[in-house]
Amino acid sequence: MELGLVGLGKMGGNMRERIRRAGHTVVGFDRNPDLTDVHSLRELVDALQAPRVVWVMVPAGGPTQSTIDELGELLSPGDVVVDGGNSRWTDDERHAEELAAKGIGFVDCGVSGGVWGLENGYALMYGGDPENVARVQPIFDALKPEGEFGSVHAGRVGAGHFAKMVHNGIEYAMMQAFAEGWELLEAADAVTDVREVFRSWQEGTVIRSWLLDLAVRALDDDEHLAALRGYAADSGEGRWTVEAAIDHAVPLPAITASLFARFASRQDDSPQMKMIAALRNQFGGHAVTAAAGGEKGADSPGADVTPPVGG
């Protein structure tokens, strides 16, 4: 199968490689000339045989809107656009309507997997009409993890990003719980090796998980997270989750509290937020901010920069 892929950053670039490893042809476009296969969206569209599928992996909001607008002028009836970024589900409904008026299909896809997705596969949650989803299915199959699970047709347009939004809200709360437990252990004089306590939980406990494994990895890198400032960004999905909960009158006390804890991290150097920042960096390559006097400058790996798409 042929695929056009727009956006070849940390996730998009690895997705291109995983899809190619599965035997598909990928024509990628990125504004970075060191990453791109073609030099414009028009060149990308011209390189694909109709009917085309073009997957968009750019930041949500303006960049996604402008990319879809341009593709709407370049593509033909029968083509399909996939938005695999972290767009809000309400944007999906508008994009689907705009493209449908031109005979172009639309699928929204929440993607989770971060910098580990190339080897482990990406969890995929997608929404759209069955015929449009079927067109993209070979690519979904190439990207998903091995085995029975890891992808789902969640429902109509918007369902994929809504499901990914809820996933990220749960992620906020889980990371917050690990962070609070870590800070309490660090504060207790009786506990002399917090890192090994965390490591001991990796087997035989009900909280063993990939996030726990990543917490241990982060503590192996920096036992007391001294090099990190206690600051953690939020990339939008946590806020949207809380807003959706209000709209649906669904109580979300844990997720809401974890979002507010991130806001608190911007007021003081929070020890809990050091763990949150470390975990986000471990699983998604998200930026971290160095502690005062630390070595991570604006140009170094892990410096405070724009977060990657997805994850």
Looking at residue 8, what is its pLDDT? 96
The one catalytic residue among 10, 43, 131, 164:
164
Looking at residue 298, what is its pLDDT? 36
The one catalytic residue among 10, 144, 171, 274:
171
Reported as a single tens digit per residue, the pLDDT across 118-141 is 999 999 999 999 999 999 999 999
Please report the DSSP string for 210-261 in residue order: HHHHHHHHHHHHSTT-TTB-S-----SHHHHHHHHHHHHT---HHHHHHHHH
Separation between Cα atoms, residue 276 and residue 285, nearest integer Å: 13
Task: Report the 10 Å Cβ neighbour count for 253.
Answer: 9
* Residue 10 a catalytic site member: no
Looking at residue 10, what is its pLDDT? 87
Q: Is 301 exposed, middle or buried (0-12, 13-18, 19+ CB in 10 A)?
A: exposed
Task: Report the 10 Å Cβ neighbour count for 247.
Answer: 8
Looking at residue 104, what is its pLDDT? 98
Mean pLDDT by 10 residues, the chain (311 residues): 96 96 98 95 97 96 95 98 95 96 98 89 97 98 94 98 95 95 97 98 96 97 92 82 94 93 77 86 83 50 40 56
* Residue 93 a catalytic site member: no
Looking at residue 115, what is its pLDDT? 81
Separation between Cα atoms, residue 297 and residue 227, nearest integer Å: 12
Separation between Cα atoms, residue 236 and residue 309, nearest integer Å: 12
Looking at residue 303, what is its pLDDT? 37
Looking at residue 299, what is its pLDDT? 36
**Angle (CA) 11 278 121, round 5°:** 30
For the chain, list the domains and their CATH numbers: 2-157 (3.40.50.720), 165-284 (1.10.1040.10)
Please report the DSSP string for 30-77 in residue order: -SSTTT-SSSSHHHHHHHSPSSPEEEE-S-TTHHHHHHHHHHHHH--T
pTM: 0.83
